[in-house]
């Protein structure tokens, strides 16, 4: 099967937020020119012009690039890919650096979906997360994007921020809903090894939100967002009907996709490849005519099937036995019948006969339920 989706990683930010472990360089705008040249080189392996349905620029912060560099980035990529009718072209943006000029560049390039890293409307939480924007910047960004005709907006929110209480999280949800975005992502804060937050927690300088509070916050998201027609369609994602992110849905269905940029991972012909995660090494390798690939993982049929279970259980619609078997040529019950029965008897999984899916209770402990299937 040929791919119909492309991801491009843009590894630049002004500053690295304390909780972030993404592939990026902070405060190294001097590398933007080399990055664009290297990306152009990496894209040379695309033969001809390929038609695709979804294109996603993530980071880092793509909108951290100055308007001229952003324009060049889009030109480089769109010279290799043609967007099919009804396409979805998404860009991640930071409210802190979204100027009117940048919004113009997005609109002119054909961007029709923006995922805005709002994270919180509460100044204490924004400061704790080391974000460099204010709540007013989020509102202004939404206004500018809509004025340029980009109405398909997602607001990314984070709960479980150290020091954040339930009332503050409720208020963040309320202000997000007030802006009427057709899509919201709400993630619990995680402490990843290697981040500044991880180190601060180890040293006792930062206290992680306790489990009960985090559970209450997740429950608030699962109640308040659907009440505003933002239906939960994945553990952390909510959308108005027809505004579910198609690019992410493609990942969750196990479809093939291409990817470019440092740390970018692709899935082609059942093989997962990940580019080198160091921005410097990725640039150097491309400059010297070497492959930028850091890891290659030819997935076994069973490995692919287990990945499909992993992503399928994250979707509220769950896993359709018939589709699963047609995609993997493996029986879901032969592979995981014992786990399905056990989790169903615990009330964490629902088995309708045609589908298995997490129950509401199962969503609170999704990581441990899903881990049993891996
Ligand atoms: S803005 Fe986003 S990508 Fe950049 S450092 Fe902060 S969390 Fe990471």
| Beta strands 293-298; 231-234: pairing state | unpaired
Query: Structure pTM?
Result: 0.95
291 within a domain of the structure (yes/no): no
Pocket of ligand 1 (CB under 6 A): 13, 16-17, 20, 22, 24, 59-61, 94, 117
> What's the pLDDT tens digit per position in 17-64?
999 999 999 999 999 999 999 999 999 999 999 999 999 999 999 999
The confidence score (pLDDT) of residue 1 equals 65
Q: Name which residue sits closest to atom 2 of ligand 1, judged by CA.
A: 60
**SS3 labels along 145-201:** HHHCCCCCEEEEEEECCCCCCHHHHHHHHHHHHHCCCCEEEEEECCCCCCCHHHHHH
Residues 187 and 328 in one domain: no
User: Which of 195, 230, 252 marks a domain boundary?
Assistant: 252
Check if the beta carbon of residue 225 is closer than 8 Å to that of residue 236. no
Q: Which residues of 237-262 are buried (b: 16+ CB within 10 A; e: fewer)?
A: bbbbeebbbbbbbbbbebbbbbbbbb
pLDDT tens per residue across span 183-242? 999 999 999 999 999 999 999 999 999 999 999 999 999 999 999 999 999 999 999 999
What ligand 1 atom has the least distance to the C-alpha of 16? 5
Number of structural domains the chain divides into: 2
Residues 174 and 317 in one domain: no
For ligand 1, the distance from its centroid to the CA atom of residue 343, given in whole angstroms, is 36
Strand pairing of 237-239 and 25-26?
A: unpaired
Evaluate whether residue 75 is within a structural domain: yes
Which residue range forms the structural domain that includes residue 91?
5-252
Give yes or no: residues 236 and 331 share one domain.
no
Q: What are phi and psi of 119, to 5 degrees?
A: 65, -50
283 pLDDT higher than 70: yes
The minimum-distance atom of ligand 1 relative to the CA of 59 is 3
pLDDT given for residue 270 in this prediction = 86
Point out the ligand 1 atom lying closest to the alpha carbon of residue 131: 6
Q: Write out the DSSP string of 352-366.
A: -SSEEEE-HHHHHTH
Asked whether residue 130 falls in the same domain as residue 235, the answer is: yes
User: 367 C-alpha vs ligand 1 centroid, how far in Å?
Assistant: 24
Indicate if 209 and 102 belong to the same structural domain: yes
- 314-333 pLDDT, tens per residue? 999 999 999 999 988 999 99
Which protein residue has the closest C-alpha to ligand 1 atom 5?
16
**67-78 helix and 100-109 helix, angle to the nearest 10 degrees:** 10
Task: Give the mean model confidence (pLDDT) for residues 107-122.
Answer: 97
pLDDT at position 220 is 98
Whether residue 107 is predicted with pLDDT greater than 80 in this model: the reply is yes
DSSP-derived pairing of the beta strands 319-320 and 349-351: unpaired
| 223 and 157 part of one domain | yes
Which CATH number goes with the domain that contains 63?
Answer: 3.80.30.20
* Ligand 1 centre distance from Cα of residue 22 (Å): 7
**pLDDT reading at 295 higher than 90:** yes
Q: Is residue 119 part of a domain?
A: yes
* Predicted confidence band of residue 109 (pLDDT cuts 50, 70, 90): very high
**Does residue 128 sit in the same domain as residue 242?**
yes
Centroid of ligand 1 to alpha carbon of 197 (angstroms): 13
Q: Is the domain of 156 the same as that of 56?
A: yes
- What are φ and ψ of residue 180, in 5° steps? 55, 50
Same structural domain, 70 and 138: yes
Cα(12) to centroid of ligand 1, in Å?
9
* Within a domain: 290: no
Cα of 8 from ligand 1 centre, angstroms: 16
Residue 112 has pLDDT above 80, yes or no: yes
Domain check: are 57 and 141 in the same one? yes
Backbone angles phi, psi at 156, to 5 degrees: -90, 130
Domain boundary (193, 220, 252) is at 252
> What average pLDDT does this structure show over 127-153?
96
Instruction: Please report, for the domain that includes residue 358, its CATH number.
Output: 1.10.10.920
Residue 13 alpha carbon, nearest atom of ligand 1: 4
Whether residues 29 and 136 share a domain: the answer is yes
- pLDDT computed for residue 254 by the predictor: 85
Phi and psi at residue 24, to the nearest 5° = -165, 165
Assign 97 a pLDDT band (cuts: 50, 70, 90).
Answer: confident
Residue of 24, 63, 93 to test ligand 1 pocket, by largest number of atoms within 8 Å of CB: 24
- CA nearest ligand 1 atom 8, residue: 20
Q: How far does residue 17's CA lie from ligand 1's centre (Å)?
A: 6
Quote the CA–CA distance of 300 and 292 in Å, as a whole number.
23
Task: Give the nearest ligand 1 atom to 20 CA.
Answer: 8
Question: How does the average pLDDT of the chain come out, rounded?
Answer: 96
């Amino acid at each position: 099967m040929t791919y119909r989706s492309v991801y491009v990683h843009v590894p630049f930010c002004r500053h690295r937020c304390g909780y972030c472990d993404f592939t990026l360089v902070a405060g190294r705008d001097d590398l933007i020119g080399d990055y664009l040249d290297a990306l152009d080189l990496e894209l040379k392996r695309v033969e001809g012009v390929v038609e695709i349905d979804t294109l996603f620029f993530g980071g880092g912060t793509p909108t951290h690039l100055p308007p001229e560099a952003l324009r060049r980035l889009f030109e480089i990529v769109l010279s290799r890919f043609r967007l099919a009718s009804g396409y979805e072209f998404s860009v991640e943006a930071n409210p802190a650096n979204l100027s009117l000029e940048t919004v113009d560049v997005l609109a002119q390039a054909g961007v029709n979906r923006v995922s805005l890293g709002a994270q919180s409307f509460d100044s204490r939480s924004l400061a704790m997360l080391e974000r460099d924007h204010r709540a007013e910047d989020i509102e202004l960004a939404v206004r500018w994007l809509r004025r340029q005709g980009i109405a398909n907006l997602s607001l990314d929110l984070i709960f479980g921020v150290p020091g954040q209480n339930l009332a503050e999280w409720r208020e963040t949800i309320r202000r997000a809903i007030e802006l009427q975005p057709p899509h919201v992502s709400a993630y619990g804060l995680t402490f990843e090894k290697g981040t500044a937050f991880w180190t601060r927690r180890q040293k006792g300088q930062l206290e992680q939100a306790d489990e009960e509070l985090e559970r209450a916050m997740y429950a608030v998201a699962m109640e308040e967002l659907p009440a505003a027609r933002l239906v939960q369609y994945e553990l952390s994602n909510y959308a108005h009907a027809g505004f579910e992110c198609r690019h992410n849905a493609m990942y969750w269905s196990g479809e093939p996709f291409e990817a470019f940029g440092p740390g970018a991972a692709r899935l082609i012909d059942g093989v997962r490849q990940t580019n080198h995660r160091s921005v410097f090494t990725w640039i150097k390798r491309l400059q010297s005519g070497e492959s930028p690939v850091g890891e290659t993982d030819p997935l076994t049929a069973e490995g692919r099937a287990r990945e499909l279970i992993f992503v399928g259980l994250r979707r509220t619609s769950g896993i359709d036995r018939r589709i699963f078997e047609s995609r993997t040529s493996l029986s879901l019950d032969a592979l995981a019948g014992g786990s399905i029965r056990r989790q169903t008897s615990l009330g964490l999984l629902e088995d309708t006969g045609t589908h298995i899916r997490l129950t509401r209770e199962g969503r609170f402990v999704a990581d441990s339920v899903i881990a049993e299937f891996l």
